[in-house]
Structure 1
Amino acid sequence: MRLIKLLTLSTALAVVTTPALAVDKDLAAARGQRSLHGLETYFAQGEGGTNLTSAARYGTWGVDLDGMDTSVAPGDSFFRYANGKALDALEIPADKTSYGAAYKLIDLAEARSQAIIEGLAARSDLTGDDAKIAAMYRSMMDTQTVEARDAAPLAPLLASVRGIKTRSEMAAWMGRSSGTFGSSFFSAYVAADEKNPKINIVNMGQSGLGLPDRDYYLKDNFADKKAKYEIYVADMLRLIGYPNATQAAKDIVAMETKIAEVSWTRIERRDSTKMYNPFTRAELAAYAPGFDWAAYFKAAQLDKASKVVVGENTAFPKIAQVFAETPLETLKAWETFRVIDQAAPYLSARFVRTAWTFRSKELGGSQQQRPRWKRAISAVEGSLGEALGRTYVAQYFPPESKAKMQALVDDLLSAMKVRIDNLAWMSPTTKAKAQEKLSKFVVKIGYPDKWRDYSGLTIDAGDLYGNQERTSAFDWAFQVSKVDQPVDKLEWGLTPQTVNAYYSPTQNEIVFPAAILQPPFFDPEADPAVNYGGIGSVIGHEISHGFDDQGRNYDGDGVLTDWWTAEDSDKFTVQATKLGAQYDAYEPVAGHKVQGALTMGENLADLAGLLIALDAYRISLDGKDAPVLDGFTGDQRAFLAAAQVWRSKRREATMIQLLAVDPHSPDEFRAIGPARNIDAWYEAFKVVDGKYYLKPEDRVRIW
């Protein structure tokens, strides 16, 4: 099934189907995209707040002095020093799993979208995309019709699953699920060929798990979640009267456990080179027997694809074997469950409540379901995101913000250029290629130059479930149309109302949607040091993704290739490993540590981003001394702004889930981890000791 983006207001590729399905497909689809927040906001998924109209600047010049806790030494916790009093006062709203600085911007984007959508929904004279936005919102708000229909909308799909008589028919059904509710043991998506990024090809990844990660099936500290998942599977099957639901659920979880056992870990999946394994369709069928690949590709409308690039190649034959050895009735029970699980948000209250209780409350720690109107805004965002974004930009993104942001990006690119030139450990040969890559960076700010065409999508105000099915089919047809076709370089991976940013290695581009260009990240009227520390570190973060442990494997044209000398690569790896060991020691929840290898790319980017931002700020001073504001130097203000961007709290269940699946470190350590490796931070705050003090020789020095 397509990614149903119920609320992209949170961050890149935020989706609401089932968490595990979302995670599997997101990781596959996001291989070509390194984002600022990434998966973390799936768990924040669009949780709104007060009805804001504009973002408020911290203090008078951009730093919240009252929110600091100066009783905490910076060396003991720079996160608490910069945010302590504010964190003590911060409460996570009942319908949220996380809250803080970035989430307040999500609230703002949601409130603005609400104003647009409800304004349209109140009218009866609309045509085109505006009429579709209004109809989608009304369909989600029409609870009377949704309740009256109850499970009836599912009947055709469930009958189709019941009618499967052979494994070949099941493989075909899995192929069709790309464009409707349902799932597969293998996920297919269309993206640029990493060896020839001018052309789109079919990519495939492992799938089939209903929990967020393989660890949930295999590690003892997730045993309780696995047990409750089995109960949840049975509960969902009972909602449609499935026979012997308890045994069916037991069989489903046992089967998924076998898939988990042979699946690659998230750390293994971070290696772009190992994840590039081209096959013809015939070669894949021979390589992974036991699954009818011809039936799958034909049903998915991918049977004309010139080639398929497989990610976790060694897992494919083993997963195909699980498919071949699993009784057909178990496969049908599993597919039935996946249909119900994914469709639940668009069905009657008993489905919604059951899904929310496990997916959001049990796994994510949410205390209260989001109000219906917020979920309705999410539904619009998921189906018609760019149509909504076009109006959003017209109302809320002034041209001067784009111009000032462009100037900041130029400053950061210049700072990165200087930093590459001054690297003592990098050879002249690699430096020249790094500078060539940097010179080819594409910058996208605010909104796309070409908007998506939704004219082929039918939205009916009285048919919520049908709207989601039609949107799924519409989106999948859009993906299929790209196969073996040139990459559209004007296309965006985020909507303008998304609070996030990303770097695409195959397109060598950095993208900053309009919604993130607000305080505390960016304020045209704030002190320059604050903007460099806030949005500047974000810009630097995205720039440096082109040179992190994976981004460095792509050249300036986006081609997956090794352009580093072996000696330079070894030196880089030594420092990266050193950084990973630091993060391995962080333990936000007892018994659950940060995975330095999983979060490596984002940790490298956080460190480099802050360094580049600080350089750019100093360059902007043009040799002049930075003013002192309220007793704080320019460097101090930049560091504080960077730390206050990450001000947030998370529920423990959410934190545990993110530690297992998210390639980003917890926000606390995004404030602490980079700063403690930067000499200028020690100088700015006179840090000579403390819990997070590092001796100069122990500090990581890469960019």
Structure 2
Amino acid sequence: MNKNLLALPLLAALATACHSSTTSTAGADGKPDLLHAALDTTVAPGNDFFSYANGTWIKNHPIPASENSSGIGIEVQKEVYARLREISVEAAKANAAAGSNQQKIGDFWAVGIDSVKADKLGATPLKPELDRIAALKTAADVQAEIARLIPLGVDALIGPNVQQDAKNSDKMALYLWQSGLGLPNRDYYFNTDTRTKNIRRAYLRHVANTFKLLGQDSATANAHAARVMALETTLAKSSRKLEALRDPYANYHKMSLAQLDKLTPGLDWKTWFGQLGQQRLDSVIVGQPEFYQTVGTLLKTTPLADWQAYLSWQLTHEYAPTLSRDFDQENFRFYGTVLHGATSQRPRWKRVLDMQERALGDALGQLFVKEYFKPEAKARYDTLVKNVVSSFADHIKNVDWMSAPTKVVALDKLHKITPKVGYPTKWKNYASLTIDRSSLTANVMRAHQWRYKYYEIDKLGKPVDRTEWNMTPQTYNAYYNPSNNEIVLPAAAFAVPTLLDADADDALVYGYAGASTIGHELTHGFDDEGSQFDAKGNLHEWWSKDDRKRFNQRVAVIVRQFNGYTLLDSLHINGKATAGENIADLGGIVIGLDAFKKTKQYKEGQKINGLTPVQRYFLGYALGWQMHFRDESLASQLLTDVHSPAQYRVNGPMADVPAFYEAFGVKPGQKLYIPDSARVKIW
């Protein structure tokens, strides 16, 4: 899963569509044609299919000052925001029963939107926690305070997380993952290019400015910022790179508490876990042992003043968006402008909706799907999933690099993938979560504590709930979960602005939905990482050695291909880190295409606005990546994201698809042309 762009949208299956100012040409039947309207015919498809497919739309949709990108996801999110805002405003006006979901939605919204109250409170909501940090006296106190801050959502040194055991998916296990950095990942602390060095300097100023807002004089604030930077840099040295985190075996080290104590001499983990509420422990899975060796050393050797500075910073950093305007704007200045290039902040009401979504997502989701996702829409996409699964089964049967015995197991895994479409069958219960109008900060704190208890305490030692969703229906995203062997496709992922479902031809649907999301997520079960999990969701090698060797040879080709793409001044896509997503993009395209070939539209072969059905299929796929980014955001994505930038999620896989060459007459000498012998062929 990735909270940025795991797999972008499917189609407009919402009951209604909000029509924005986007223009669209119409076909002979008078229905709008978004695909034709977006074309930039001054670009040859064989040179840059992304720009050919989306160029006119991108020219007509500059990036808003408050955003780091402009794209179809932003347009869909506008509609989602409008609906959630209406729900929230009505809830705030209602005299709802105390403890009801409506009361909680309404109170969260009312106090969140009250900027005057937030400015009056300043940093006061954090004072009790800041006072506790200031009162620390011993290393044991530091550990106890970390245990207090983690349930509050603070990224305080260690990263405990309860999830399914990768090698025993029927059991929930406690994982320890590398954590504790204020910059996006370890590379920001060490890369020597000018852009990253400037970000480091800006980060140091940002941390110091935050301390000044807490009332410290300039000299003290600068000294504390230096302490934070030094401690985080030490943590970063022991943190693994993005690509290294994708190896499930290399990041799985199961050990007893005694073994964990031995890994970090001098630390009493049993006591620490007890303070974290994790009493029912007989073992733990450590992702990166070298990181925790550093944690152990730091807790014994780092001066108390460093910990006080670090924990005060991490706490304030987490809650800055909930505090007064000065904290909020300082936080935005660095994380919004320096890191991602936005020049003005998004409206407060949108930011409050984002916080409310994290706090009460399922409560909002129940109302959202009731109003905007009708049964007939769900039925359509349930059917589409079945059609794409059937196509994938045919591909598995016909590939020439996989042996017959492995194909049998692969087909078994495919048919055991659980599709979850639209919304969950049961909703989370927020009865124990108190939401009131005291302060936005207090509500967010209690919501973090509720989530921590729900996910990190109550699930440990309990049976795995395979019906649960890790996204809400109004989330514009999708995911494949290897431990559950499932694909999850939220309702909001089916939305495309300005287009009603009835007006979308099958070519668009199969390219946009069948390829970019359904086929993409299914293929994740068989990419370089997902393929290491079996049909039951266990980390287990079910391929023959020769099959794995042949597969890895093909993966190496796609890694080299994407390593060769250069963006901005001299930045490269990380082919190894993005391999899984690139495999899934390519797989989704070829699988979705064969599913589309069974439709009436394909068989009849009639053109719409001069475009053949197959051309419209490929354009439908490109529509899913109709977006462009600020340079700052793109640079950040290249360092932190396992997904390739949007342009290369289109041009990259298309260069490997023979049907694309045929559909658009791609010839040698054009930029996307790759000789057939050098193209990636997996599914």
In structure 2, distance between residues paired with 1:122 and 1:52: 26
Hey, what does 1:364 align to over in structure 2? 340
Residue 191 of structure 1, CA deviation: 0.7
Describe how 1:96-495 pairs up with structure 2 within 5 A: 96-127=67-98, 128-180=100-152, 182-221=154-193, 222-242=196-216, 244-479=220-455, 480-495=457-472
Describe the shift of the 1:324–1:242 C-alpha distance in structure 2 as closer, same or farther (beyond 3 A). Answer: farther
Describe the shift of the 1:591–1:491 C-alpha distance in structure 2 as closer, same or farther (beyond 3 A). Answer: same
Residue 631 of structure 1, CA deviation: 2.0
In structure 2, distance between residues paired with 1:240 and 1:434: 57
**Contact 1:63 / 1:530 at 8 angstroms: preserved in 2?**
no
In structure 1, distance between residues paired with 2:379 and 2:597: 21
Hey, what does 1:496 align to over in structure 2? 473
Describe the shift of the 1:290–1:356 C-alpha distance in structure 2 as closer, same or farther (beyond 3 A). Answer: farther
* 455-464 or 320-329: bigger deviation: 320-329
> For each residue in 1:368-393, what CA deviation from the matched residue of structure 2 results, as whole angstroms up to 9, or x when unmatched?
11111112212221210100010000
Residue 63 of structure 1, CA deviation: 3.9
In structure 2, distance between residues paired with 1:162 and 1:294: 25
Q: Could you say what secondary structure the match of 1:562 adopts?
A: coil
Letter of the 2:353 counterpart: I
Letter of the 2:430 counterpart: Y
**Contact 1:62 / 1:530 at 8 angstroms: preserved in 2?**
no
TM-score (norm 1): 0.91
Residue 266 of structure 1, CA deviation: 1.0
Q: Could you say what secondary structure the match of 2:480 adopts?
A: strand
Q: Could you say what secondary structure the match of 1:624 adopts?
A: helix
Letter of the 1:392 counterpart: F
Q: Does 1:560 align with 2:539?
A: yes
* 177-186 or 504-513: bigger deviation: 177-186
Hey, what does 1:67 align to over in structure 2? 38
**Contact 1:172 / 1:298 at 8 angstroms: preserved in 2?**
no
In structure 2, distance between residues paired with 1:290 and 1:98: 48
* 390-399 or 587-596: bigger deviation: 587-596
Hey, what does 1:3 align to over in structure 2? none
Hey, what does 2:504 align to over in structure 1? 526
Residue 252 of structure 1, CA deviation: 1.4
**Contact 1:168 / 1:291 at 8 angstroms: preserved in 2?**
no
Residue 134 of structure 1, CA deviation: 0.3
Q: Does 1:693 align with 2:673?
A: yes
Query: Structure 2 residue aligned with 1:667, among 620, 643, 646?
Result: 646
Hey, what does 1:27 align to over in structure 2? none
Q: Could you say what secondary structure the match of 1:65 adopts?
A: helix
* 202-211 or 614-623: bigger deviation: 614-623
Hey, what does 1:79 align to over in structure 2? 50
In structure 2, distance between residues paired with 1:163 and 1:235: 22
> For each residue in 1:529-574, what CA deviation from the matched residue of structure 2 results, as whole angstroms up to 9, or x when unmatched?
1100001111000000000000000001101101111111111111
Gaps of 5+ in 1: 1-10, 15-33, 39-50
Hey, what does 2:523 align to over in structure 1? 544
Describe the shift of the 1:446–1:623 C-alpha distance in structure 2 as closer, same or farther (beyond 3 A). Answer: closer
Hey, what does 1:24 align to over in structure 2? none
Describe the shift of the 1:543–1:62 C-alpha distance in structure 2 as closer, same or farther (beyond 3 A). Answer: farther
> For each residue in 1:326-360, what CA deviation from the matched residue of structure 2 results, as whole angstroms up to 9, or x when unmatched?
21210111001111111111111111111111111
Residue 451 of structure 1, CA deviation: 0.5
**Contact 1:67 / 1:84 at 8 angstroms: preserved in 2?**
yes
Letter of the 2:82 counterpart: A
Describe the shift of the 1:37–1:496 C-alpha distance in structure 2 as closer, same or farther (beyond 3 A). Answer: same
Hey, what does 2:18 align to over in structure 1? 53
Hey, what does 1:43 align to over in structure 2? none
Residue 445 of structure 1, CA deviation: 0.7
Describe the shift of the 1:478–1:558 C-alpha distance in structure 2 as closer, same or farther (beyond 3 A). Answer: same
In structure 2, distance between residues paired with 1:281 and 1:585: 45
Residue 161 of structure 1, CA deviation: 0.8
In structure 2, distance between residues paired with 1:360 and 1:624: 49
Q: Could you say what secondary structure the match of 2:241 adopts?
A: coil
**Contact 2:586 / 2:653 at 8 angstroms: preserved in 1?**
yes
> For each residue in 1:191-243, what CA deviation from the matched residue of structure 2 results, as whole angstroms up to 9, or x when unmatched?
11111111211111011211011111001121111111111111111111246
Query: Structure 2 residue aligned with 1:585, among 564, 570, 586?
Result: 564
* 456-465 or 234-243: bigger deviation: 234-243
> For each residue in 1:586-622, what CA deviation from the matched residue of structure 2 results, as whole angstroms up to 9, or x when unmatched?
1221121111111111000000001110010012349
In structure 2, distance between residues paired with 1:54 and 1:418: 39
Residue 58 of structure 1, CA deviation: 5.6
Describe the shift of the 1:290–1:592 C-alpha distance in structure 2 as closer, same or farther (beyond 3 A). Answer: farther
Q: Could you say what secondary structure the match of 2:647 adopts?
A: helix
**Contact 1:288 / 1:316 at 8 angstroms: preserved in 2?**
yes
**Contact 1:186 / 1:204 at 8 angstroms: preserved in 2?**
yes
In structure 2, distance between residues paired with 1:396 and 1:158: 43
**Contact 2:46 / 2:665 at 8 angstroms: preserved in 1?**
no
In structure 2, distance between residues paired with 1:627 and 1:323: 69
TM-score (norm 2): 0.94
In structure 1, distance between residues paired with 2:481 and 2:33: 30
Describe the shift of the 1:612–1:181 C-alpha distance in structure 2 as closer, same or farther (beyond 3 A). Answer: closer
Describe the shift of the 1:686–1:181 C-alpha distance in structure 2 as closer, same or farther (beyond 3 A). Answer: closer
**Contact 2:153 / 2:449 at 8 angstroms: preserved in 1?**
no
* 141-150 or 608-617: bigger deviation: 141-150
Letter of the 1:234 counterpart: A
**Contact 1:401 / 1:524 at 8 angstroms: preserved in 2?**
no
Residue 189 of structure 1, CA deviation: 0.9
Letter of the 1:255 counterpart: L
Q: Does 1:702 align with 2:679?
A: no
Letter of the 1:53 counterpart: C
Residue 153 of structure 1, CA deviation: 1.2
Hey, what does 1:648 align to over in structure 2? 627
Q: Could you say what secondary structure the match of 2:292 adopts?
A: helix
* 298-307 or 654-663: bigger deviation: 298-307
Residue 465 of structure 1, CA deviation: 1.4
**Contact 1:167 / 1:292 at 8 angstroms: preserved in 2?**
no
**Contact 1:173 / 1:296 at 8 angstroms: preserved in 2?**
no
Residue 702 of structure 1, CA deviation: 0.4
Q: Could you say what secondary structure the match of 2:566 adopts?
A: coil
Task: Count residues with an aligned counterpart.
Answer: 662
**Contact 1:365 / 1:652 at 8 angstroms: preserved in 2?**
yes
Residue 314 of structure 1, CA deviation: 2.9
In structure 2, distance between residues paired with 1:678 and 1:290: 57
Alpha carbon RMSD of aligned pairs, Å? 2.0
Q: Could you say what secondary structure the match of 2:289 adopts?
A: coil
Letter of the 2:639 counterpart: A
Q: Could you say what secondary structure the match of 1:454 adopts?
A: coil
Q: Could you say what secondary structure the match of 2:101 adopts?
A: helix
Letter of the 1:223 counterpart: K
In structure 2, distance between residues paired with 1:151 and 1:555: 49
> For each residue in 1:275-316, what CA deviation from the matched residue of structure 2 results, as whole angstroms up to 9, or x when unmatched?
111112221111123544234212111132232111112332
**Contact 2:596 / 2:602 at 8 angstroms: preserved in 1?**
no
In structure 2, distance between residues paired with 1:164 and 1:369: 36
**Contact 2:601 / 2:613 at 8 angstroms: preserved in 1?**
no
Describe the shift of the 1:492–1:135 C-alpha distance in structure 2 as closer, same or farther (beyond 3 A). Answer: same
